[in-house]
Amino acid sequence: MKREQPLLFELGAPGRRGCSLPPLDVPAKPINELLPPQMQRQDPLALPELSEGELVRHYTALSTRNHGVDSGFYPLGSCTMKYNPKVNEEVARLPGFALLHPCQPPESVQGAMELLYRAGLYLQEITGMDQVTFQPAAGAHGELTGMMLIRAYHRSRNDQRKVVLAPDSSHGTNPASAAMAGYEIKEVPSDERGLVDLEALRQLLNDEVAALMLTNPNTLGLFEEDILEIAAAVHDVGGLLYYDGANLNAIMGHARPGDMGFDVVHLNLHKTFATPHGGGGPGSGPVGVKEHLAPFLPVPLVEKGEKGYFWKDDLPHTIGKVHGFHGNFGVIVKAYTYMVMMGAAGLRRAAADAVLNANYLMERLKNSYALPYDRRCKHEFVISAREQKKRGVSAGDIAKALLDYGFHPPTVCFPLIVEEALMIEPTETESRETLDRFAEALEEIARLAAEDPASVLAAPHTTPVSRLDEVSAARRPRVCWTGNRKSD
Amino acid sequence: MNGGRHFLPLTDGERREMLAHIGAASEDDLFAELPPAIRLEEGLDLPPPLSEMEALAHLEALAAKNRHLREYPCFIGGGVYDHFIPSVVSHITGRSEFYTAYTPYQAEISQGVLQSIYEYQTLICRLTGMEAANASLYDGASALAEAAVAACAATRRRKVLVSRSVNPHYRRVLQSYLDVRDLQLQELPLREGATDYAAAEKLLDRDTAALLLQQPNFFGLLEEMEPAAALAHRHGALLVLSTDPISLAVCRTPAEYGADIVTGEGQVLGNPPSFGGPLLGFFAARQKLIRRIPGRIAGETEDSEGRRGFVLTLQTREQHIRRERAISNICSNQALNALAAAVYLAAMGPAGLREVAELCLQKAAYARKKITALRGFAQVFPGVHFKEFAVRLPGSGGNLNEHLLKHKLIGGLDLEPLYPELGPAMLFCVTETKSREQIDALVGALEGWS
């Protein structure tokens, strides 16, 4: 079972190749005439040399060493690993979408511009915002864009606010994005309910605060039920409210950030809107704003005129650009396909099933694990391995043990405010049987942690490699293969 | 009617049982804590849902409204390029163990993605001559912006110089990234379409963190890079390049020029233009800067039984560990596009990639010669070109594009809005995908316009 897969560079033989190209069909010139010798590459280019078949075998072998949503359950909290419909992949590969240049004359890409326009209308309706930009390529990119918009808004009013607030339960990207936009970060504590401590928030609010970044439901999977009071308090001091859309899947079709008082939102199309995450990306992080922030949006924006769709470039107050072109269009095509198939009732149903699945699983697990916040959750919930930890079994160990049952583990050790956290998000696309089998696996691991902790600590047993040494990987980083094994 | 039922396994009976199991009287109970004022009692106002068949027809109809690059040969480059993609690439990126995975947080069941990233990083290092690379950034523009930010952090300086021969879209992204941090951006003027080093010498000072150049530059010119590194280093600044990885099969590497950080657009390596995204920002650097590299990095290690394995490493740079003290906020990247790039490079091999680069050089030279021989069309800049070249036009670029569309041809990129000082001018791009027949058709259509 356990074996190494050779590197690309250890396969093949000099002289093999994996592609064919057409011969030159224009009169050939000596290469030295086109490219003077002093501009030519000196260092020989050491790329792999494999036949096409060998290449396919290599990557097929690698793929069998990887777990995706198609392989099995993937309850990674705050990542919304729902099923990725196959039709989306077909659509994105249509030559009429995949083979377009971003700088083609608008009259030759009216269908693509219409798709962006329509997708924008869907997202405006779903979020309750007034306008959308698709340039951000991922959630964190959306956050950075949002922070740029907020800064531009305040500056346009001659207001040099310096502080952004984020709860102690927030995603790491929130403070990182705000810092990248030049803001000082202050942390808002959570109260015993696991929600924003409203009193503490009020004490942090003043005319230095540019914005509060909030995920709702939060990373504990709990809905911030004081949201209207929070919004009023932030707006009262002239601050803006930023919505991290990572957890929108919980409430889509049931409530909208725009109605809660949020001024800026980003969405993660690769979470809520069922586009695949690609082993790390590409995602897409469109940003929606209320009218008062629209003048600052990145350019160009797609608009509909009498003669069709056109690029609107003349926004005098724009923050400029955050992407070289129009964002991750191919991902937007997939999300749009998903939205037109789901419709309003389908999206609402998806959110309700996601919440039902999470509550069902939480109910099943609370007998074997500590549940720090025992209240109705939304799309995800957090259990704690603090009891198991007393026997030496951490949340991370439980995650490794789950690998032997064929499941991807939950998010571990996050949010930071829960000791030994396991953050579980089943999503709506999982059947009850899967939830039951997952619960049984976690129950069995809890039993083992009590009776035979050593067996949990030794996991995983069935994966292509056993536990990996992350500490020495970071101490002496080897990030580029130089042909030598460590043991050599 | 509910759309998307085929994605939702729960039956009504199961829903009832599960609600009972959790002690909820009804589905409304699941949302009981939402303040009544924000509850969407009526639901969303969206078009009726489509079945898969109807959705396909709708999307095919939208796609059919576009003129794609196989119907209309395209001579636009400017950052996104039409290169040949071997079939093997999409078959591998289409394996769902890769494309339906999240970021490889659990290394033991993510060895496929992690090893493929490690191989990709190695390939990028071999192309550029650098010693370390990351798993990818959003695109060439944001990669250059991240490099500028990294250079400021590494040198503790606050000013960045960028040549006007760097892609104007990239410069706008750079501007927005630097503005919010109150970092200063100064543009270097051009001489004959290339960076004016005499001007750079005057602007470089003790607060300059980096000199940002593009090779081949936005006009397709290979700039004289020899003075750049010495100039930057003499003032304690870093040399940062944005480059076209295809060109590196034949052109001197950034390492050979003395660059410290190398970024660029990796779309050309096996990724379709896709209307400008998803693209692939790559980022490579000298070993001494490894802890300044933003984003995911895969590293080699061993498992508890001594087998080689791979993990995400140097994570203390990153947002999920360091929060506001992280060196960048990036989380999701363009991993699948990086996988495509690795497969592409392995399929091409050293000989294939060299052929692609030489076909670009030859065909672009052929087209340049033919076009600039036409009456009213003239070369804008002399010098060595890779796959793009600027041409002065006898009339406006916008009108020319309309004319070319009538001939079932797309572009040139209109340069006048980007560089008004050039007057009516167009940037043409010719890659290996353009046959002589197509180039001749372009020349014929241009001749008919002048």
* DSSP track, A296-318: G--S-EEEEETTEEEEE---TT-
Cis, peptide link before residue A102, omega less than 30° from 0: no
Identify whether residues B315 and B355 lie together within a single domain. no
Q: Mean pLDDT, to the nearest integer, of B285-291?
A: 97
CATH of A352-472, one of 3.30.870.10, 3.30.950.10, 3.20.20.60, 3.90.1150.10: 3.90.1150.10
- From residue B424, alpha-carbon distances to B218, B391, B394, B413, B415 in Å are 17, 9, 7, 11, 7
- Contact in structure between B170 and B144 (CB atoms under 8 Å): yes
Identify whether residues B322 and B377 lie together within a single domain. no
pLDDT(A484) > 70: no
Of A227, A274, A473, the CB nearest to B301: A473
* DSSP track, A143-201: HHHHHHHHHHHHHHTT----EEEEETTS-THHHHHHHHTT-EEEEEPB-TTSSB-HHHH
Q: Mean pLDDT, to the nearest integer, of A131-154?
A: 98
pLDDT(A485) > 60: no
Q: Given this model, what pLDDT does residue B318 score?
A: 84
**For residues A304 and A289, what is the distance between their CA atoms, to the nearest angstrom?**
19
* HSE-up of residue B371 (Cα within 13 Å, Cβ side): 32
User: Per-residue confidence at A107, pLDDT binned at 50, 70, 90?
Assistant: very high
CB-CB neighbors (< 8 A) of A47 in chain B: 123, 126, 345-346, 348-350, 353
Residue B208 lies in a domain: yes
Identify whether residues B252 and B332 lie together within a single domain. yes
* Angle between helices A110-127 and A329-365 in degrees, nearest 10: 30
What are A383-394's pLDDT values in tens digits?
999 999 999 999
Q: Is B56 on the interface with A (CB under 8 A)?
A: yes
- Contact in structure between B315 and B321 (CB atoms under 8 Å): yes
**For residues A434 and A422, what is the distance between their CA atoms, to the nearest angstrom?**
18
Count how many residues are written for chain B: 450
Our count of domains for chain B comes to 2
- Taking CA atoms, what residue in B is nearest to A466? B303
Could B349 and A47 be called an inter-chain contact, meaning their C-beta atoms sit closer than 8 Å? yes
pLDDT(A487) > 80: no
Kindly state the percentage of chain A with pLDDT values over 70: 99
- At position A173, the amino acid (one-letter code) is T
Could B181 and A329 be called an inter-chain contact, meaning their C-beta atoms sit closer than 8 Å? no
DSSP state of A406: T
Our CA-based measurement puts residue A275 at a distance from the nearest CA of chain B, in whole angstroms, of 9
What are B354-370's pLDDT values in tens digits?
999 999 999 999 999 99
- The domain spans of chain A are 8-63, 87-341, 352-472
Q: Given this model, what pLDDT does residue A1 score?
A: 54
Region of residue A130 (phi > 0: left; psi between -120 and 50: alpha; otherwise: beta): alpha
**For residues B248 and B125, what is the distance between their CA atoms, to the nearest angstrom?**
11
Identify whether residues B337 and B360 lie together within a single domain. no
pTM, entire model: 0.97
Pair of tokens at residue B96: 């769902």
pLDDT(B331) > 70: yes
Of A114, A281, A429, the CB nearest to B336: A281
Identify whether residues B249 and B207 lie together within a single domain. yes
Q: Given this model, what pLDDT does residue B1 score?
A: 56
Average pLDDT, chain B: 96
- Contact in structure between B278 and B297 (CB atoms under 8 Å): no
Our CA-based measurement puts residue B314 at a distance from the nearest CA of chain A, in whole angstroms, of 5
CB-CB neighbors (< 8 A) of B365 in chain A: 29, 34
User: Per-residue confidence at B450, pLDDT binned at 50, 70, 90?
Assistant: low
**For residues A66 and B176, what is the distance between their CA atoms, to the nearest angstrom?**
38
At the top level of CATH, the class of A87-341 is alpha beta
A412 phi, psi to nearest 5 deg: -110, 150
Residue B165 lies in a domain: yes
Q: Strand B194-195 vs strand B190-191: parallel, antiparallel, or unpaired?
A: antiparallel
Q: Mean pLDDT, to the nearest integer, of A428-447?
A: 98
Identify whether residues B336 and B372 lie together within a single domain. no
**For residues A352 and A379, what is the distance between their CA atoms, to the nearest angstrom?**
9
Q: Given this model, what pLDDT does residue A488 score?
A: 36
pLDDT(A117) > 80: yes
Identify whether residues B282 and B252 lie together within a single domain. yes
Cis, peptide link before residue A282, omega less than 30° from 0: yes
- Provide the domain limits for residue B106: 87-343
Q: Given this model, what pLDDT does residue A322 score?
A: 97
Q: Which position has the higher pLDDT, B326 or A378?
A: A378
Cβ atoms within 10 A of the Cβ of B226, count? 15
Cβ atoms within 10 A of the Cβ of A162, count? 12
Q: Is B118 on the interface with A (CB under 8 A)?
A: yes
Identify whether residues B158 and B277 lie together within a single domain. yes
What are B241-278's pLDDT values in tens digits?
999 999 999 999 999 999 999 999 999 999 999 999 99
Identify whether residues B332 and B270 lie together within a single domain. yes
Could A96 and B277 be called an inter-chain contact, meaning their C-beta atoms sit closer than 8 Å? no
- At position A299, the amino acid (one-letter code) is V
User: Per-residue confidence at B42, pLDDT binned at 50, 70, 90?
Assistant: confident
User: Per-residue confidence at A486, pLDDT binned at 50, 70, 90?
Assistant: very low
A241 phi, psi to nearest 5 deg: -115, 125
- Taking CA atoms, what residue in A is nearest to B127? A45
Our CA-based measurement puts residue A181 at a distance from the nearest CA of chain B, in whole angstroms, of 5
User: Per-residue confidence at A483, pLDDT binned at 50, 70, 90?
Assistant: confident
Identify whether residues B241 and B185 lie together within a single domain. yes
What are A146-175's pLDDT values in tens digits?
999 999 999 999 999 999 999 999 999 999
Q: Given this model, what pLDDT does residue B319 score?
A: 83
Domain boundary among B299, B319, B343: B343
**For residues A362 and B436, what is the distance between their CA atoms, to the nearest angstrom?**
65
User: Per-residue confidence at A216, pLDDT binned at 50, 70, 90?
Assistant: very high
The SS3 call for residue A374 is: coil
pLDDT(B316) > 90: no
User: Per-residue confidence at B414, pLDDT binned at 50, 70, 90?
Assistant: very high
Residue B319 lies in a domain: yes
**For residues A450 and A272, what is the distance between their CA atoms, to the nearest angstrom?**
37
Kind and range of the H or E run holding A450: helix A432-451
Place of tokens 């106002």: B45
Pair of tokens at residue B445: 């259509």
Q: Given this model, what pLDDT does residue A237 score?
A: 98
**For residues A343 and A253, what is the distance between their CA atoms, to the nearest angstrom?**
10
Could B4 and A144 be called an inter-chain contact, meaning their C-beta atoms sit closer than 8 Å? no
Q: Which of B15, B3, B27 is nearest to A432 (CA)?
A: B15
What are A254-278's pLDDT values in tens digits?
999 999 999 999 999 999 999 999 9
The SS3 call for residue A262 is: coil
- Contact in structure between B218 and B166 (CB atoms under 8 Å): yes
CB-CB neighbors (< 8 A) of A297 in chain B: none
* HSE-up of residue A92 (Cα within 13 Å, Cβ side): 27
CB-CB neighbors (< 8 A) of B146 in chain A: none
User: Can you give the three-state secondary structure of chain B, one letter per residue?
Assistant: CCCCHHHCCCCHHHHHHHHHHCCCCCHHHHHCCCCHHHCCCCCCCCCCCCCHHHHHHHHHHHHHCECCCCCCCECCCCCCCCCCCCHHHHHHHCCHHHHCCCCCCCHHHEHHHHHHHHHHHHHHHHHHCCCEECCCECCHHHHHHHHHHHHHHHHCCCEEEEECCCCHHHHHHHHHHHHCCCCEEEEECEECCEECHHHHHHHCCCCEEEEEEEECCCCCECCCCHHHHHHHHHCCCEEEEEECHHHHHCECCHHHHCCCEEEEECCCCCCCCHHHCCCCEEEEECHHHHHHCCCCCEEEEEECCCCEEEEECCHHHCHHHHHHHCCCCCCCCCHHHHHHHHHHHHHHHHHHHHHHHHHHHHHHHHHHHHHHCCCCCEECCCCCECCEEEEECCCCHHHHHHHHHHCCCECCEECCCCCHHHCCEEEEECCCCCCHHHHHHHHHHHHHHC
Place of tokens 């009692």: B41
Could B332 and A138 be called an inter-chain contact, meaning their C-beta atoms sit closer than 8 Å? yes
- Contact in structure between B261 and B289 (CB atoms under 8 Å): yes
Identify whether residues B396 and B331 lie together within a single domain. no
CB-CB neighbors (< 8 A) of A358 in chain B: none
Pair of tokens at residue A398: 């439980």
CATH number of the domain where residue B417 is located: 3.90.1150.10
**For residues A138 and A322, what is the distance between their CA atoms, to the nearest angstrom?**
11
Our CA-based measurement puts residue B216 at a distance from the nearest CA of chain A, in whole angstroms, of 11
Region of residue B286 (phi > 0: left; psi between -120 and 50: alpha; otherwise: beta): beta
Q: Strand B159-163 vs strand A163-167: parallel, antiparallel, or unpaired?
A: unpaired
Beta bridge partners of A265: A243, A288
Identify whether residues B168 and B247 lie together within a single domain. yes
